[in-house]
Structures are given as C-alpha cells and as structure tokens.
Amino acid sequence: MELCEGGELFDRIVARGHYTERAAAAVAKTIVEVVQMCHKHGVMHRDLKPENFLFENKKETAALKAIDFGLSVFFKPGERFTEIVGSPYYMAPEVLKRNYGPEVDVWSAGVILYILLCGVPPFWAETEQGVAQAILRSVVEFKRDPWPKVSASAKDLVKKMLNPDPKRRLTAQEVLAHPWLQNAKTAPNVSLGETVKARLKQFSVMNKLKKRALR
C-alpha cells in the first residue's frame, strides 16, 4: 500500500492561509474523478468521506489520493444493493431505504463538496437517527454564511449531486462536465472566510475524537 505522508484533506485546508471556492473546486474535481474511475471499472466505493482522502506528501502540489476501499463492491449495470454501509453523514437516502446502486457515491461526494464550501455537513443532528431522518428529508440549506457569497454555479452543482432521486442525480461523468468543475481554475478566488476554516477544523477534530471513542 502506498504511504501518504501529506495528511488528511481538512487538516491541509485548515493549515493553508487562504481558502477559496477555487481551492474547493480543485479538491472536488479530484474526488469526483476517483468516483468516475471506480464506476468505470464497475466498483462502488460506498464509504466516501473526507478522512478517506490523503495527500501524497507535504508539498503544495501533492496529489490527493483515495484510501480505504474496505466497503467497496463490484456492481453490474442495474444491480441493486440492500446492505446499509458507510458513514452516517455521507449516506444517500436510498442506502437507508435499502435499495441502491453506484449513484450513492455521487451523493457522498456532494456532501463532501457542501462541507468544503461551508464547513458543516448538509444533514446534521445530535444522533445518528436524527442524521438519518435529515438525510431522508433531503432539505439542503443555502442561507447561512458563507453561502450568499458562494457562486450560483457551485450551488447548482451541490443541488444536482444531492438530488434525493438517484435517477435524476448527476452521474460522476455529468458532474465533471458541469461548468463549475469545467472552469475550476477560474472559480472565484475570494476567501470563503475564517469561519469556514474554523468549522472544518472543528468538524475534523470531532471526527477524530469519535474514531478514538470507537476503538
């Protein structure tokens, strides 16, 4: 297995000075490219989350790599799965309904993108049951800061990745063809603000504490 010494995704973002929509677009593009590659080879990851992406090394230009394919499965076109697997915040509604296919990976990538842009998950509650209920309601909120200063194109992509109907959700290929990712290098370079970085740090710390508690 390849050794990735560059650290976790959120830790790197927090350590950087200036964090912008353009930086979020570059990360999102890499994540969706991983999803597209998996699906092209008939693999559904089923556990996409920020902790499963590490930087190869500490250089500014380091590649972002996906790790932990422990819950991944091979799938055939049209095949449906019923096993509830994955991490609560990132589960698609159809996983909770026990009837899903590879579209779940695009949903999880959409959740990561939402967090990258505002610092908190779109479906949040104090308990896992509460999170599940929020996911099934699938109401995505764009009113709180920093959403008013996030581009309409970025919000459009988030909405299309978090469509609760898997048949209407974008495929990984369609996500990569979306104007926001097509123009990732020219996405707004205005800072998303210190609040977003502070939230990302808090979210990252909370996840690490939960992991320790489960050991």
Residue 56 DSSP label: S
The DSSP code sequence of 189-202 is -SB--HHHHHHHHH
Instruction: Please indicate whether residue 47 is annotated as part of the active site.
Output: yes
Q: Which residues contact 123 (CB under 8 A, 6 or more apart)?
A: 89, 111, 131, 134, 135, 138
**Residue among 11, 47, 145, 156 flagged as catalytic:** 47
CA nearest neighbour of 176 among 24, 66, 28, 9: 28
Total Cβ atoms within 10 A of residue 192: 26
Helix (H) or strand (E) holding 44: strand 43-44
Residues catalogued as catalytic = 47
